[in-house]
A and B are shown apart, each in its own frame.
Chain A
Amino acid sequence: MADSATLDAAPIAAARPESRDDRALHRKVFIGIAVLLVLAPLVLYPVYLMKVLCFGLFALAFNLLLGYGGLLSFGHAAYFGMASYISAYGAKTLGFTPEVAILAGTVTAAILGLIFGALAIRRQGIYFSMITLALAQMAFFFSLQAKFTGGEDGIQAVPRGDLFGVISLADDRVMYALVAVVFFGGLLLIYRIIHSPFGQVLKAIRDNENRAVSLGYRVNQYKLAVFVLSATLAGLAGATKAIVFQLASLTDVHWSMSGEVVLMTLVGGMGTVFGPIVGALVIVTMETYLAQFGAWVTIIQGCVFVLCVLLFREGIVGLVARLIRKPL
């Protein structure tokens, strides 16, 4: 009997079935996030906010796989990065409008996720993680060698273009509005996935895989499905990012990007709905505002991560959820 060595879903935040109260609380959190999305650009730089939202969506997508599928991918940069390249290439060279470019990038990530996922889910635990890493390294190598990606230079000066050919995205505030909508839509979709009949089966598989099998669930198909969904949403984040920053580069497909998204998810709280957003906020903020310290950023990040794991293993939001005794 294959030992389900998939990441033992650490301390599952507030381990009890969700009640109607919890749903009401979640609705309030959603409204809170919507309000923040509207108000934030009045106070903070839209470019910084857009970075937070793109990485937030990336981390949310990753957490869908790790926190709810129990699968630790070490190669999520592949979907984020390849989508970013395709989106940038489409907008710059093929003259796609931004929504088509983003769609093209997202679809690419979905297809890549289907192929990589189908290979990786054949193994469990650390072997699964190693396969995702190896495949992502191949995607990196491809990006380095292929002509259209611009090698070390990446694809620069990508035009933001006009949304639906009508609304110019050149203004950061207009661009921000689009990113906020994409982010919020992605968040709602992920919330729905988690709370769907499909999500229920995922949780069952994570809880007791053998029992799920003995009830007749073909668990590998569910794992593949959540893998593809996660890769697709990671692609949506990457493709959007390329339009926002008008750039797709090797950084996006590099393994350190895969590591960063793991970091964001763990700091925020894996297996919590909202944790990855907080994680992305913390990490991006550190990178942005500590940039003056140069290479020290990585050291500081490392310390934060170590402290985080030592002090509150369930992440920031996981900790809050435990304190208020409600799932978040």
Chain B
Amino acid sequence: MARDVILATEGLTKEFKGFRAVSEVALQVERGTIHALIGPNGAGKTTCFNLLTKFLQPTAGSIRYKERDITGMKPADVARLGLVRSFQISAVFPHFSVMENVRIALQRRHHGDSFDFWRPEKVLRRLNDEALALVEAVGLTEFRDTLAVELSYGRKRALEIATTLALDPEMLLLDEPMAGMGHEDVERTAQLIRRVSKDRTILMVEHNLSVVASLSDRITVLARGQVLAEGDYATVSKDPRVVEAYIGAGHA
């Protein structure tokens, strides 16, 4: 069976002053799947994310997205190709309202670059309906005019997802979308992720293993910067090396 790979890395390596945070990682993400990247703390998951979205430049190796080598590209340009990320520390524009947060993403998607300093802000109002629909989708309608900085943690994450979706990305990279969320929020966010994954590819880092188990089609386990195991949840969770990495890391 030929695999339809949307994102692939080869020998991806990142060294920080002699320390290898990510070492020779070969990752293949299939189009239309939810792929999870898990591993104990310090396994290099976030570094991996930063490499894939070009926020960090790899020391060695290559990254291909949709058959295209993106290893040397700038982060903003990668985002423009439809590979959009979220951040572990919730990334919202704190002094923008919920609507404005979503609208700034819509503005990028529909207007491209906005160097039109001579035009009134009013021209952005036509994005309001679309922005509101996205705000509704993540259950933030009643907070539409609230400043992002005043939202609870879980709602900030929801807003971040709405903002990311506003770009209508082909592929989403979610860095711990459930981190710090209460039980209710986790369930809602999981449903949201499942819903938006319909015609998209998602690669996510997540600690909540039950979420990973229920959401992901494929799991890659990282430990000490290297790929330890790969497969579906049943395969991976039975792998003795994975068990050892988790237990070992927890009790060493």
The residue among A197, A203, A222, A229 with the most chain B CB atoms within 10 A of its own CB is A197
| Chain A positions within 8 Å of B121 at CB level | 195-197, 199-200
B107 neighbours in A (Cβ, 8 Å): 197, 200-201
Partner of A192 from the list B56, B95, B118 (CB cut-off 8 Å) is: B118
Q: Which of B94, B105, B117, B147 gathers most chain A CB within 10 Å?
A: B117
State the interface size on chain B (CB cutoff 8 A): 44
A54 to B86, CA, bound (A): 45
Q: Does A17 contact B (CB under 8 A)?
A: yes
**Cβ B100 vs Cβ A17 within 8 A:** yes
Q: Which of B91, B96, B167 contacts A17 (CB 8 A)?
A: B96
- Let me know if B120 and A192 touch, CB within 8 A: yes
- CA gap between A156 and B224 in the complex, in Å: 71
A212 contact set on B, CB distance < 8 A: 93, 104
A205 to chain B, nearest CB (A): 9
Please measure, in the bound complex, the distance between the C-alpha atom of A208 and the C-alpha atom of B163, giving whole angstroms: 13
Given A201-B104, A207-B93, A215-B167, verify A192-B117 contact (CB < 8 Å): yes
A197 touching B50, Cβ below 8 Å: no
By beta carbon, the residue of chain A nearest B56 is A1
Contact call B117/A225, Cβ cutoff below 8 A: yes
Q: Is the CB of B93 within 8 A of A219?
A: no
Complex CA gap A214/B166 in Å reads: 12
Neighbour of B96 across the interface among A207, A217, A222, CB < 8 A: A207
Contact of A1 among B55, B76, B77, B79 (CB under 8 A): B55
Q: How does the 8 Å CB contact mask read for B80-100 relative to A, with 1 for contact and 0 for none?
A: 100011110001111111001
* Residues in chain A near residue B105, CB distance under 8 A: 215
Task: Establish whether residues A16 and B124, one from each chain, have CB atoms under 8 Å apart when the complex forms.
Answer: no
Q: Which of A17, A192, A216, A221 contacts B108 (CB 8 A)?
A: A216
Q: Do the beta carbons of A215 and B84 come within 8 Å of each other?
A: yes
| Contact, CB under 8 Å: A197 / B91 | no
Please report the C-alpha to C-alpha distance between residue A16 and residue B94 in the assembled complex, in whole angstroms: 10
Interface centre among B92, B115, B145, B149 (most CB of A within 10 A): B115
Q: For the complex, is B244 an interface residue (Cβ under 8 Å from A)? A: no
**In the complex, what residues of B have CB within 8 A of residue A45's CB?**
none
Interface string of B136-160 (1 = CB under 8 A from A): 0000000001010100000000000
- Is there an interface contact between B96 and A1, defined as CB atoms closer than 8 Å? no
- Chain B residues, CB < 8 A from A129: none
A195 surroundings in chain B (CB, below 8 A) = 120-121
* Interface members, chain B 89-134 (any A CB < 8 Å): 91-97, 100, 104-105, 107-109, 111, 113-121, 123-124
Q: Closest CB-CB distance, A23 to chain B, in whole Å?
A: 10
In angstroms, Cα B116 to Cα A222, docked, is 11
Q: Is A126 an interface residue (CB 8 A)?
A: no
* A12 cross-chain contacts in B, Cβ below 8 A: 95
Q: Confirm or deny: B188 has a beta carbon within 8 angstroms of a beta carbon on chain A.
A: no
Complex Cα gap A218–B80 (Å): 10
Is B11's CB within 8 Å of the partner chain A?
no
Spell out A's residues near B (CB within 8 Å). 1, 12, 15-17, 192-193, 195-201, 203-204, 207-208, 210-219, 221-222, 225, 229
> Besides A198-B116, A204-B96, 10 other CB < 8 A contacts?
A192-B117, A196-B121, A197-B116, A198-B117, A200-B121, A201-B107, A208-B93, A211-B93, A212-B104, A216-B167
The 8 nearest A-B residue pairs measured at CB? A216-B79, A198-B117, A197-B114, A211-B91, A207-B93, A17-B97, A193-B117, A216-B80
Could you list some 15 contacts between A and B, CB below 8 A?
A: A1-B55, A17-B145, A192-B120, A197-B107, A197-B123, A197-B124, A200-B100, A200-B124, A203-B96, A207-B94, A207-B95, A208-B93, A218-B76, A221-B115, A229-B117
